[in-house]
Amino acid sequence: MMDPVDTLLAMVLLSVLISFGSSRLPALIKVIAFQGVAVSIVPLFMGHEMTWGGIVFTLATLMIRGIGIPVYLSRAIKKVAIHREVEPVVGYHASLLAGLVLIVAAIYVSPKFNLPVGKGYILLLPSAITLIVAGMFLLMARRNAIAMVLGYIMMENGIYLVGTTFSMRAQHIVEFGILLDVLAGVMIMAIILQNIKKTFNDVNTTLLRTLKE
């Protein structure tokens, strides 16, 4: 029987590949929601001393990541009637290949960081790095603004994974700080999205180029 943490992390890595290959926004949102749930329950299996407070915090994280943000984004899509396609800059197959290369590279690179992170969990640091870089990749390789917001959330998931290895108290302070940022960020982006939509009648971010001086 595998360790539950590594199982979860393997699923997270797979979700990265799925997200790279999915072309429709609703599907992508679901993948990210799943990823958020998986990432936020990782601390429950890590053998930390679980206090009631800790469990409440973890559940709150789960609610925001797994339900709050995805629902909010789905509603945003409906409200501004956005194209359901993610409009890739890099094609889906190329993206998938890049994802695979990325995972391999992350596993190769992670021991070199020499962090006191994830002792005993081989996949923890590689998946964290993968999530961060994959989030960046989505930000760069998708024109649709919602897809870019999702990339940003994926990056944040990666940062959260690094945070799980800290001691429980510090972790919650850090995590709630980050979550607050993300929530604010997502809301601001949703507002900006509406404005972009109003101005350009589309949320294709390449149109922003026309704003250049």
Partner 1 sequence: MQPFFLSLLIISCGGILPLFLWRRPLLMRGAGATLIAAGSLLGLVDAARQLYAPVAVTATVDLLNTVPITFTSDSLSAFFLVAIFAVSGLTAVYSFHYMDKSDHAVRTAVHYLFFSLLIAAMALVVTADDMIAFLLCWEIMSLSSFFLVVYSYEKEQNRRAAFLYAVFSQVGAMFILAAFGVMYACTESFAFAGASGMPAAIKLLVFILAMVGFGSKAGLFPLHIWLPQAHPAAPSHISALMSGVMIKTGIYGIIRLYAILEWHAPVLGQIVLAAGLVSGVMGVIYALGQKDLKKVLAFSSVENVGIILIGMGVGMIGVSAGKPIMAVLGFAGGLLHVLNHALFKSLLFMGAGMVLHRTGTGVIDHLGGLIKRMPITGTTFLIGALAIPGLPPFNGFVSEFLIYIGAFNGIALGKTNFVLSLLAIVGMALIGGLALAAFTRVFGIVFQGEPRSPSAQAIEQGPTMLLPMIVAAAACVVIGVFPTAFLTMAIQAVEPLQLGYGRIPLTPFIQITATITRAAVVLFAVFLILLALRKLLYSGKTVTRSGTWGCGFTQPSARMQYTGSSYAASILAFFKPLVPIEEDHPPVIGRFPVKTHYQSRTRDIAEHQMDRLIVKPVLFLFDKLRWLQHGDIHLYIGYILLAIVVALFFV
Rounded Cα distance between 211 and 213, Å, is: 6
* Helix boundaries (H) for 114-167: 124-141, 145-163
Question: In the structure encoding, which two tokens stand for residue 144, read together?
Answer: 């649709």
Minimal distance, residue 45 CB to partner 1, in Å: 29
- Listed residue (25, 46, 27, 65) closest to 159, CA to CA: 65
Contact 43, 55 (CB under 8 A): no
Residues within window 13-42 making contact with partner 1, judged by CB under 8 A: none
Minimal distance, residue 142 CB to partner 1, in Å: 8
Q: Is 98 in the site for partner 1 (CB under 8 A)?
A: no
Interface residue with partner 1 among 57, 73, 143, 154 (CB under 8 A) is: 143
Minimal distance, residue 193 CB to partner 1, in Å: 13
Interface residue with partner 1 among 141, 150, 161, 179 (CB under 8 A) is: 141
User: How many other CB atoms are there within 10 angstroms of residue 79's CB atom?
Assistant: 12
- Listed residue (20, 68, 12, 62) closest to 37, CA to CA: 62
Task: Name which of 152 and 166 has its Cβ closer to partner 1.
Answer: 152
State how far Cα 32 lies from the chain centre. 6
Minimal distance, residue 77 CB to partner 1, in Å: 19
Task: Name which of 58 and 205 has its Cβ closer to partner 1.
Answer: 205
Q: Is 107 in the site for partner 1 (CB under 8 A)?
A: no
Contact 41, 62 (CB under 8 A): yes
Interface residue with partner 1 among 67, 89, 104, 187 (CB under 8 A) is: 89
Q: Which residues bind partner 1 (CB under 8 A)?
A: 89, 133, 136, 139-141, 143, 148, 205-206, 208-213
